[in-house]
Structure 1
Amino acid sequence: METNESILTRSIVGLDERKVLGKMSSLRVDYDTQAVSHYIVMNASTNNAIALPFENAIAVGDAFITVQSYGSFVDANSPASKELVSDSNKLVGVEVYSRTGNTLGTVTTFDFDPVFGAIKSITLDNGSEFKSDAFLFFTPDFVFVDDGSKSAADLRQAEDNTSDAPAAAPASTPATQPAPAAQPAAPAANADGLSNEDALLVDFLIGKTLNDDVANADDTFALPKGTEITREIALDAKKHDALLLLTMSVD
């Protein structure tokens, strides 16, 4: 990247002439394309200003700008050359305004691409800098940029958007959750610590006579055939998980 000031350190060398043809003096800008259009060079032989079209430069090096020959310059006697070497179209010194019409300052320097010529940024006398994506347009009289300020149109649009926004929906009342289903009550225990179901089996067995021998799996509870079941026997059978065996062994 070069600036309108850094480029002034270069001299122009003609490859055919094998010598310095002049020294950089200033730049000219095409306001429509927002790019450098010409280098203005002080002729090394006559000390007169001559114009070099940007596209006729072979390259911009760190020491020299090279051209093929003196023929790369605009004819010094042509009206076009005289117009170019005048003080117009320098960009430096042009007033800069925002898109809302406010004065922002005056261009003091600018950066440009030495390969394609495009102006990449401008710096104002108050230190403000604007990149190329903020450029709106250039003219010899003024430059307009987008500095991010809200315009009257922007403010009206924002107001319209606010008034058109749908009203917030009322907060919905949480749906009433159904009460959990009642859980079945646990079987009540009687005085012997039996559930209602076991108590009914005990009452059923009392007074019954075994029609088979009964023994549980580990022989911790055993009764011979013909035993009459008492309450004590039934409760003992319950302790050994043998109530069902007794039930299946009586009529």
Structure 2
Amino acid sequence: MKALVSLVSLSAFLLVALPGPLYKYGVVDLGTAFTGFKFGVFAGIAALILLVLQILFKRKTVTLSSTIMALLLSTIAIAIPLSMLNKGKSVPPIHDISTDLVNPPEFVAIAPLRADAPNPVEYAGVEVATQQRAAYPELQTLHYPQSKSELVEATKQVIDHLDWQLVNIDANKGIVEATDTTAWFGFKDDVVVRITDNGSKRLVDIRSKSRVGGSDLGKNAERIHGFIEELDSILAK
């Protein structure tokens, strides 16, 4: 019984932990990866049930270390997918976020890199803008007194600090493009920053869009927030 509990709890953990790297390196497709999550939850629940049965009917085989390990692995296997599910329910099912919803910054150099991506490079339009406005009303065009060249250089520093891949800089047009690759699944999300003159101030807009997936689980909005915080920190020095 002890061996069975350990095996099932370990299997549950692996069904949740491995899909990310397996998808990242092209071993499985995204649908298969998420199916692993589902079976990981089922296996985690099964492991907890088996553990309870072991404690009730096979108490002599129970050890503190094996019990803690089974609880830990099973809890992780159940908690991670459920946490992602709850996150998905708390944010709109969109994957294209911009501080300018009327005239979002356009991808230029990144556009060819997204040629085979399931999510098209074009902005989805009014429906997405309406959902974003309701979920992230704080994301709006930024205003800075620094020159365009200073903001382009600061943006480049932000991209370096955040460990994104710099794709393109057009200092004259005030356009900077980059790609952020997520650690677990290796999802590639693209970012474009647009800096324009507006009298004595500069307007800065940021757009972040996922290449795959219907919902980004709030990741693109979080990425823009992180960019703004880092940019403000650099400019304050």
- Which TM-score band applies after superposition, normalised by the shorter structure? under 0.3
- When you count strand as a share of all residues, which structure comes out higher? 1
Q: For CA contacts below 8 A with separation 6 or more, give which structure has more relative contact order.
A: 2
